[in-house]
Structure 1
Amino acid sequence: MFNFLKSNPSKKLRKQYDIKLEQAMLAQRKGDIKSYSMLTAEAEQIWKEIETLEENSS
Protein backbone atom coordinates (compact mmCIF):
# COMPACT_ATOMS: atom_id res chain seq x y z
CA MET A 1 0.00 0.00 0.00
CA PHE A 2 2.73 2.44 0.92
CA ASN A 3 5.42 1.15 -1.45
CA PHE A 4 6.14 4.66 -2.64
CA LEU A 5 7.50 5.52 0.82
CA LYS A 6 10.11 2.75 0.78
CA SER A 7 13.60 3.79 -0.16
CA ASN A 8 15.14 2.30 -3.27
CA PRO A 9 18.56 0.79 -2.39
CA SER A 10 19.65 0.62 -6.02
CA LYS A 11 19.13 4.38 -6.35
CA LYS A 12 21.64 5.02 -3.57
CA LEU A 13 24.12 2.59 -5.16
CA ARG A 14 23.72 4.23 -8.56
CA LYS A 15 24.62 7.57 -7.01
CA GLN A 16 27.75 6.02 -5.47
CA TYR A 17 28.55 4.41 -8.82
CA ASP A 18 28.30 7.74 -10.63
CA ILE A 19 30.53 9.42 -8.04
CA LYS A 20 33.19 6.71 -8.38
CA LEU A 21 33.18 7.01 -12.16
CA GLU A 22 33.55 10.77 -11.95
CA GLN A 23 36.44 10.43 -9.50
CA ALA A 24 38.06 7.90 -11.83
CA MET A 25 37.69 10.26 -14.78
CA LEU A 26 39.32 13.09 -12.85
CA ALA A 27 42.19 10.83 -11.76
CA GLN A 28 42.72 9.79 -15.37
CA ARG A 29 42.81 13.41 -16.50
CA LYS A 30 45.48 14.14 -13.87
CA GLY A 31 47.52 11.22 -15.18
CA ASP A 32 47.13 9.12 -12.03
CA ILE A 33 46.53 5.78 -13.71
CA LYS A 34 46.85 3.74 -10.51
CA SER A 35 44.04 5.67 -8.80
CA TYR A 36 42.01 5.52 -11.99
CA SER A 37 42.20 1.75 -12.12
CA MET A 38 41.38 1.36 -8.42
CA LEU A 39 38.37 3.68 -8.66
CA THR A 40 37.15 1.93 -11.79
CA ALA A 41 37.40 -1.43 -10.04
CA GLU A 42 35.38 -0.06 -7.11
CA ALA A 43 32.77 1.27 -9.54
CA GLU A 44 32.53 -2.15 -11.20
CA GLN A 45 31.98 -3.77 -7.81
CA ILE A 46 29.16 -1.33 -7.05
CA TRP A 47 27.63 -2.08 -10.46
CA LYS A 48 27.63 -5.81 -9.68
CA GLU A 49 25.76 -5.05 -6.44
CA ILE A 50 23.21 -3.01 -8.39
CA GLU A 51 22.69 -5.84 -10.86
CA THR A 52 22.13 -8.41 -8.09
CA LEU A 53 19.65 -6.12 -6.34
CA GLU A 54 17.70 -5.57 -9.53
CA GLU A 55 17.68 -9.29 -10.35
CA ASN A 56 16.36 -10.13 -6.89
CA SER A 57 13.65 -7.47 -7.02
CA SER A 58 12.29 -8.69 -10.37
Structure 2
Amino acid sequence: MFSIFKPNPIKKLKKLHDVKLEQAMQAQRKGDIRGYSQLTFEADEIHKEILALEEKNQNK
Protein backbone atom coordinates (compact mmCIF):
# COMPACT_ATOMS: atom_id res chain seq x y z
CA MET A 1 0.00 0.00 0.00
CA PHE A 2 2.78 2.44 0.85
CA SER A 3 5.28 1.15 -1.68
CA ILE A 4 5.39 4.57 -3.36
CA PHE A 5 7.20 5.93 -0.31
CA LYS A 6 9.96 3.31 -0.39
CA PRO A 7 13.21 4.39 -2.06
CA ASN A 8 13.99 2.67 -5.32
CA PRO A 9 17.53 1.22 -5.14
CA ILE A 10 17.60 0.53 -8.90
CA LYS A 11 16.98 4.18 -9.71
CA LYS A 12 19.74 5.26 -7.34
CA LEU A 13 22.18 2.74 -8.83
CA LYS A 14 21.36 3.83 -12.38
CA LYS A 15 22.13 7.41 -11.47
CA LEU A 16 25.43 6.34 -9.87
CA HIS A 17 26.23 4.26 -12.98
CA ASP A 18 25.70 7.29 -15.22
CA VAL A 19 27.95 9.40 -12.99
CA LYS A 20 30.74 6.79 -13.12
CA LEU A 21 30.52 6.59 -16.91
CA GLU A 22 30.70 10.38 -17.16
CA GLN A 23 33.73 10.46 -14.88
CA ALA A 24 35.35 7.71 -16.97
CA MET A 25 34.79 9.68 -20.16
CA GLN A 26 36.37 12.77 -18.60
CA ALA A 27 39.36 10.74 -17.41
CA GLN A 28 39.81 9.29 -20.89
CA ARG A 29 39.72 12.75 -22.45
CA LYS A 30 42.43 13.90 -20.04
CA GLY A 31 44.59 10.92 -20.99
CA ASP A 32 44.26 9.19 -17.62
CA ILE A 33 43.94 5.63 -18.87
CA ARG A 34 44.32 4.03 -15.43
CA GLY A 35 41.60 6.26 -14.01
CA TYR A 36 39.42 5.48 -17.02
CA SER A 37 39.93 1.75 -16.51
CA GLN A 38 39.14 1.93 -12.80
CA LEU A 39 35.99 4.01 -13.30
CA THR A 40 34.81 1.77 -16.13
CA PHE A 41 35.32 -1.27 -13.92
CA GLU A 42 33.30 0.37 -11.12
CA ALA A 43 30.53 1.26 -13.57
CA ASP A 44 30.47 -2.35 -14.78
CA GLU A 45 30.12 -3.64 -11.22
CA ILE A 46 27.24 -1.24 -10.59
CA HIS A 47 25.60 -2.41 -13.82
CA LYS A 48 25.82 -6.02 -12.62
CA GLU A 49 24.10 -5.02 -9.36
CA ILE A 50 21.34 -3.32 -11.33
CA LEU A 51 20.79 -6.42 -13.46
CA ALA A 52 20.67 -8.63 -10.36
CA LEU A 53 18.09 -6.38 -8.66
CA GLU A 54 15.96 -6.19 -11.80
CA GLU A 55 16.03 -9.97 -12.15
CA LYS A 56 15.11 -10.35 -8.48
CA ASN A 57 12.16 -7.96 -8.94
CA GLN A 58 10.92 -9.84 -12.00
CA ASN A 59 10.90 -13.14 -10.13
CA LYS A 60 8.58 -11.78 -7.44
TM bracket, shorter-chain basis: over 0.9
CA shift at 1:3, angstroms? 1.4
Whole-Å separation in 2 of the counterparts to 1:57 and 1:8: 11
Give CA-to-partner distance per residue, 1:13-45, whole Å, 9 cap, x none.
111101100000000000111100110000000
Deviation at 1:6, TM superposition (A): 1.1
Taking the aligned partners of 1:24 and 1:9, their CA distance within structure 2 comes to 22
Report the TM-score when normalising by structure 1.
0.95
Normalised TM-score (structure 2): 0.92
Gapped regions of structure 2 (runs ≥ 5): none
Q: How many residues align?
A: 58
Which residue of structure 1 lines up, in the alignment, with residue 6 of structure 2? 6
CA RMSD of aligned residues (A): 0.6
Partner AA of 2:28 in structure 1: Q
**Large movers: runs of 4+ above 4 Å:** none
